[in-house]
Amino acid sequence: MNVLDLEPPPPGLSGENAARYGYGLYSARYGNIYSVRQLKQLLEDALSEKVREEDFWFAGARVHDGLRPNVDPDGLDSVEEAIFLRRYHLAQVRRMVASSDVFVFTAGLTEIWINRLTGTVYPTAPGVIASPSHEVEIDFQNMRFAEVLSDLEAVRNLLQEVRPGIQMLVTVSPVPLTATASAKHVLLANSSSKATLRAALGEFAERNEDVDYVPSYEIITNPAARGNLFAPNLRSVTQTGVEVVMGQFLLAHGLTQSPATRAPLVATELEEMADGVVCEEALLEAFGE
Amino acid sequence: MRILVLGNSHVAALRVAWRQERSRWPRLEVQFAAAHAQGQADLSITNHILAPKSQKVRENMMRVNGRADYDLRDYDAFAISGGTPSIFHAISLYNQARFFGLPSLADFDPNKSQEWSVLSRANFQSALVGLMQNGSAMDIARTLVSTGKPCVILQQLRVSLDCLSQPRKYAGFLRVKNTGDTGVLSQMLDVSSTAAYADLGNVLHQPHITRIHDIFTAPEYRRGATRLTANDSALQPADDFIHGNGRYGTALLDALYSHFFS
């Protein structure tokens, strides 16, 4: 197995700063992609090379890419710079898909922030990191089963368009919601969201021979684990938990664990998400306080 | 004002200038504590005395300075010349990454593959600062700052324009010159140098009068540069393009003088 990284960090960037700038987390610097809708949008933008000026938000004089606000944490100098970097990033996403044999996606949320006029989806609520210009109105929406399933099929089609024969591995994130913008208690919002995602991903995998469902959610949350695969904060997955999931995955696919396996990085990623280093959801919770 | 200048082989330029023209700076009294290579990182303070920890560095400093122990109470300020932010940091990063704002990216096509990645200006600066903070000057600066006295970091001089006589060895510099990115890259070098040491002291950028084409040192400030020895009289090899001469040392001391007295 070879995990692609189309946007590696430049030399000199410390480990801490590399994580701050969105390096070393995924195969390109798209930041957290929480929903299938967000993934579909990324692929559509990458294939069409579409950049929308209303997607760039502001924090004082600094400009942030509203579609990946954590990637340049201190913001950019201008909208011009933001557009330039987005075009570059989308080209790397196209290259990433074109070079891939297997596309792995972890679905985290059904809750999305959507531009009322254009339907563009954002990973964070306005005002948490930056805010859109006053002409843009952003609504909260909670995606339903049929929408998630439809988006999954669209993602598969988009991937096949770039890389015919590409296979998909899909999984539901076992990390529970820490905040919800719905009117529900977060416990209810979490179970509803995870159930919707699990059902949609399961149906998607059943329908398509080139899609496989990885049961990381089941392994981490199953009662037999007694919660021991969660860290004391009951949100992060432990290193052991990651190794168990990866071990089962490799066994199921007839692969061997090697030192190059990305498990430690995934564990770091999950821990960092729970620590709030890169997780917009955690920022939303803090913002709400 | 009594200043102790520390550093590596780059101290020779300052020392030559001081020996030849000390009356030019009447309010300065300058002494030198140089060590070859990374020796300055070996220095530590015990009971106000700055001294090397290893015998090897001690012997080197005795040869080069005639002494290896310095009572820091004898000085009002410090200057570091060696292991400091350098154009080499910027060029090495430029070889692997470019940032928005460089003239060469004006017609950039992201669909064409290239050997380098594209970053935001802030990201490039953060990475460049990280590279600069790995220099040996950072260790000695942290040591000196603990005295509470001002510490000035002298940006390493840019490579001499004469280096282009060896285009293969200095291909990175030729590349920058040909792309037209020299001005913006030089600005990035200066801004990042200041940021790298922001918590420790002031950074004096290379005096503009000694620069040419932004990222080079004018040859008249390099030719005839001497090696760091007891009397700094042995010439650097002809293919050394990174050390300044006494004239450069004069420009640096002028800048240091202006920093403290203007």
User: What digits encode the pLDDT tens for the residues B91-130?
Assistant: 999 999 999 999 999 999 999 988 899 999 999 999 999 9
Looking at residues B24-33, what average pLDDT do you find? 96
Q: Is A99 in the B-facing interface, judged by CB distances under 8 Å?
A: no
Report residue A278's pLDDT band, with 50, 70 and 90 as the boundaries: very low
**Residue B159: closest CA among B240, B245, B254, B251:** B240
| Nearest residue, CB atoms, A12 vs list B93, B108, B118 | B93
Disruptive mutation site among A70, A88, A94, A99 for chain B (greatest number of B CBs within 10 Å):
A88
**Residue A270: closest CA among A89, A6, A18, A19:** A19
Which residues of B lie closer than 8 Å to A, measured between beta carbons?
Answer: 89, 92-93, 96-97, 100-101, 105, 108, 110-111, 113, 117-124, 126-131, 134
Tell whether the model's pLDDT for residue A275 goes beyond 70: no
Span B236-253, pLDDT tens digits: 999 999 999 999 999 999
Disruptive mutation site among B94, B113, B126 for chain A (greatest number of A CBs within 10 Å):
B126
State whether A12 and B128 contact (CB < 8 Å): yes
User: What does the alpha-carbon distance between residue A237 and residue A266 come to, in Å, rounded to a whole number?
Assistant: 10
Q: What is the pLDDT of residue A268?
A: 39
Closest residue in A to B128 (Cα) is A12
Looking at residues A265-286, what average pLDDT do you find? 42
| Nearest residue, CB atoms, A81 vs list B96, B121, B130 | B121
Report residue A12's pLDDT band, with 50, 70 and 90 as the boundaries: confident
Tell whether the model's pLDDT for residue A272 goes beyond 60: no
**Residue A193: closest CA among A121, A122, A123, A110:** A110
State whether B118 and A85 contact (CB < 8 Å): yes
Structure tokens at A268: 């770091």
Looking at residues A141-156, what average pLDDT do you find? 97
Amino acid sitting at position B76: D
Contacts of A14 in chain B (CB under 8 A): 130
Q: What is the pLDDT of residue A16?
A: 85
Sign of CA dihedral B109, B110, B115, B116: positive
State whether A85 and B120 contact (CB < 8 Å): yes
User: What does the alpha-carbon distance between residue A2 and residue A100 come to, in Å, rounded to a whole number?
Assistant: 10
pTM for the whole structure: 0.88
Strands B211-212 and B216-217: antiparallel
A111 by Cβ neighbours in 10 Å (0-12 / 13-18 / 19+) ranks as buried
Looking at residues A15-43, what average pLDDT do you find? 92
Q: How far apart are the CA of B28 and the nearest CA of chain A, in angstroms?
A: 37
State whether B122 and A77 contact (CB < 8 Å): yes
Q: What is the pLDDT of residue A280?
A: 53
Which residues are paired to B160 by β-bridges? B217
Q: How far is CA B56 from CA B43, B61, B223, in A?
A: 12, 9, 31
Helical axes A79-98 vs A145-162, angle rounded to 10° = 80
State whether A85 and B100 contact (CB < 8 Å): yes
What b/e string do you get for A228-256 counting C-beta neighbours within 10 Å, with b at 16 or more? ebbbeeebbbbbebbbbbbeebbeeeeee
